[in-house]
Chain A
Amino acid sequence: MSARERILERLRAAPSLPMAAPDVTGWFAARRRNEDPPQRVARLRSGLESYHAEVHDTTEAGWPDLLLQIAATKQLHTLLIGTDTPHGAALEARRPDALQLVRYDRSIESWRNQLFDGIDAALTLARSAIAETGSLILWPDASEPRLMSLVPSLHFVLLDTATIHEDFHSAMVAENWNAGLPTNALLISGPSKTADIQQTLAYGAHGPRELIVLLRHGPGGMA
């Protein structure tokens, strides 16, 4: 008999202690605030800022220049972008002189050291966000791979404010996550950090030291 069968057999032999299914939906429904979009934006922003993220308001037309301006202030030389993304194309169309745009267009094996050592920052799009906890939701894929939001020391995230959910539960229900998840789904709340040395908070543990969120407001959305 295999370990699997022996373990399962022991568990099945144990007394059954029936338990009703927990009412998770009811719990979240009862606590929902039914906020309007500006309130959600405000709550997301205050959460993100409390975790040391930098948050900027911008628009569909204005974000590339804002990003380039921030990049110049922070003296960034290289920015990693995805492949065949509209936002990547929008940046490339600006043909910036001071900022080299690097496409993540090869598998990691062929350029691991360059990614770890030669890239200052990365830009990715967030799928959506969670107002309650100040969290960004990312579903990395073939065009915007997983390491973009992890290896470079600075991470720019572009977020459409119309995609902000109230809480984690309503995000997964509205986006039908239980129908199937991608290779890696992520919640990101601030730059990486640690308090492992004498409970002293330090940013930039292993992931980005800085997280810069560009809130892209739709037409008429920016207050």
Chain B
Amino acid sequence: MSQAVMLDPASAFRQRSRSAVDDTAQRQNFRSAMDYLQSKRRAQFPDAQELDGLRDLGEAIRRYSLAHLPRLLEQLEQNLTANGIQVHWAENAAEANAIALTIARRVEARRIVKGKSMVSEEIGFNHAMEAAGIEALESDMGEYIVQLAGETPSHIIMPAIHKTRQAIAKLFVEKIPGVEYTEDVDALIRIGRHVLRRKFAAADIGLSGVNFAVAETGTLCLVENEGNGRMCTTVPRVHIAVTGIEKVVEKLEHVPPLFSLLTRSATGQAVTTYLNLISHPRQPGEKDGPEEVHLILIDNGRSQAYADGQLRATLQCIRCGACMNHCPVYARIGGHAYGTTYPGPIGAIVSPHMLGLAATYPLAFASTLCHACVEVCPVRIPISDLLIRLRNEAQARPGTSDASLRGSGAARTALVSAIWSAWALIYSRLGLYRLTSWFMSRGRAFSPIEQGAWTKSRTPLTPAPRRLRDLLRDRQS
């Protein structure tokens, strides 16, 4: 929610990218982090055939789940409810936060401790709680660091990827009373662990995301390494899970392939330390676990993507971050330059549905269409095709069948429209085309030296001295 709608999103994005590219220290951080994550992922998939087959299976599971989405959401709700987990539905961020606040007020909560959840970032959960006087504390080490610094995550899996350990050491000294400066990573983690243990014990509510929600058993799956997700979902007396409506799968047996694809693609791990499957609140006789478990299912623009046969593929995503880890643009400008909760290629294709194309269309253009993201996506989302589609939508003429998305046509300008209209006119009339090209080749000396973005790093474009048809005529005679 921190991504305010800008008057001119294109120049704002350019500005952020420029300053990110100028920050050489940060670029080094991202470069080395991307190299590390790429090589870790590569090592997890030594068998190309197995990888291909597993991706096919992952894609089939996600597409099958989406094909039956309304039915599966109802089945999920029914089974969760039967298990004692309360299900809520939210159209948008404001509704989701209002639901969480109603629960928080009912149980008189003062402190919420959070496991890692990108959906909670998407809905601006922390701000909404703080505005209501409730502390919302991040407990994932990376998220904790980012929150302490008053920043937002720059990567969906490794939120503090933009920070050096020296910067984190300074931050800890500044913000945590009684901490001495140390650059030792083990010592820094021990400090975080010590601070946050107190917080888990004192929290009234634990908030988490969901990696997969299983319809047939009414189960919420959480994937993590640190154990903070388990703390948040076990220690406080209330657990609230937030998730997008697309995260549901039909069967429990759909989880193992997706889990394997997720951990191997994301961080290059065969498996994470924990896979946490939650199906009930605390049962009679049990001695720990929350007495109440809630799931908030959030649309927030997802049904717009769902309504379109092509754009629906956006919702196949399992949020592994491999697309950003392999993106040449992301590696150079980092996560913050995108200005959206979800950065990188996935951010470019999912954000327009959440925030509208008017605020987000520049992201679809921030791609070389090199296909690296398409090649690594564990569920085979055709990201390049979707980027091209969004570019077209951004330029769509209002009122045409292409203009089906919120904010479509936002990138159209009078000048660009006029140029394309003239282009269409010239190319559809043979005489006019010949005449224009004749003038262009004869008048090449008058070609402008300044050609906008093109000449910033390239020599100007100049028409050829002779047209193709002239050359052909010479050859034939």
| B139/A206 in contact, CB under 8 A | yes
| B61/A8 in contact, CB under 8 A | no
| A172/B89 in contact, CB under 8 A | no
| A17/B312 in contact, CB under 8 A | yes
- Chain A residue numbers with a CB within 8 Å of B227 are 150, 192, 205-208
| A168/B259 in contact, CB under 8 A | yes
Instruction: Answer whether residue A62 sits at the interface, using C-beta atoms and an 8 A cutoff.
Output: no
- Chain A residue numbers with a CB within 8 Å of B185 are 197-198, 200, 202
Taking each of A7, A25, A105, which has the highest tally of chain B beta carbons within 10 Å of its own beta carbon? A7
The answer to whether residues A133 and B270 also contact, given A3-B95, A172-B253, A196-B159 and a CB cut-off of 8 A, is yes
Instruction: Answer whether residue A55 sits at the interface, using C-beta atoms and an 8 A cutoff.
Output: no
In chain A, positions 142-198 with a C-beta closer than 8 Å to chain B are 142, 145-147, 150, 167-169, 172-173, 177-178, 180-198
| A204/B216 in contact, CB under 8 A | no
In chain A, positions 92-115 with a C-beta closer than 8 Å to chain B are 104-109, 112-113
Instruction: Answer whether residue B14 sits at the interface, using C-beta atoms and an 8 A cutoff.
Output: no
The answer to whether residues A197 and B286 also contact, given A22-B60, A206-B228 and a CB cut-off of 8 A, is no
- Chain A residue numbers with a CB within 8 Å of B309 are 15, 17
How far is the CB of A139 from the nearest CB of chain B, in Å? Answer: 9
Which of A18, A112, A134 contacts B271 (CB under 8 A)? A134
In chain A, positions 1-51 with a C-beta closer than 8 Å to chain B are 2-4, 6-8, 10-25, 27-28, 31, 47, 51
Instruction: Answer whether residue A199 sits at the interface, using C-beta atoms and an 8 A cutoff.
Output: yes
What 1/0 mask marks residues of chain B from 399 to 426 whose CB sits below 8 Å from any chain A CB? 0000000000000000000000000000
In chain B, positions 108-125 with a C-beta closer than 8 Å to chain A are none
| A185/B279 in contact, CB under 8 A | yes
| A198/B164 in contact, CB under 8 A | yes
The answer to whether residues A24 and B253 also contact, given A189-B271, A207-B227 and a CB cut-off of 8 A, is yes
How far is the CB of A218 from the nearest CB of chain B, in Å? Answer: 26
A192 to B307, CA, bound (A): 41
- Chain B residue numbers with a CB within 8 Å of A58 are none
- Residue pairs across A and B with Cβ atoms less than 8 A apart, 27 shown, are A3-B299, A7-B73, A7-B245, A10-B303, A11-B73, A17-B309, A27-B257, A104-B287, A106-B287, A107-B288, A112-B201, A113-B201, A134-B270, A146-B234, A150-B231, A177-B252, A184-B278, A192-B273, A192-B274, A194-B142, A198-B185, A199-B37, A205-B192, A206-B200, A206-B231, A207-B226, A207-B231
Contacts from B to A (Cβ < 8 Å): 29, 32-33, 36-37, 50, 53-54, 57, 60-61, 63-64, 66-67, 69-70, 73-74, 89-91, 95, 139-142, 145, 158-161, 163-165, 168, 185-186, 188-190, 192-193, 196-197, 200-201, 216-217, 219, 225-228, 230-231, 234-235, 237, 245, 251-257, 259-260, 267, 270-283, 285-289, 297, 299, 303, 306-309, 312
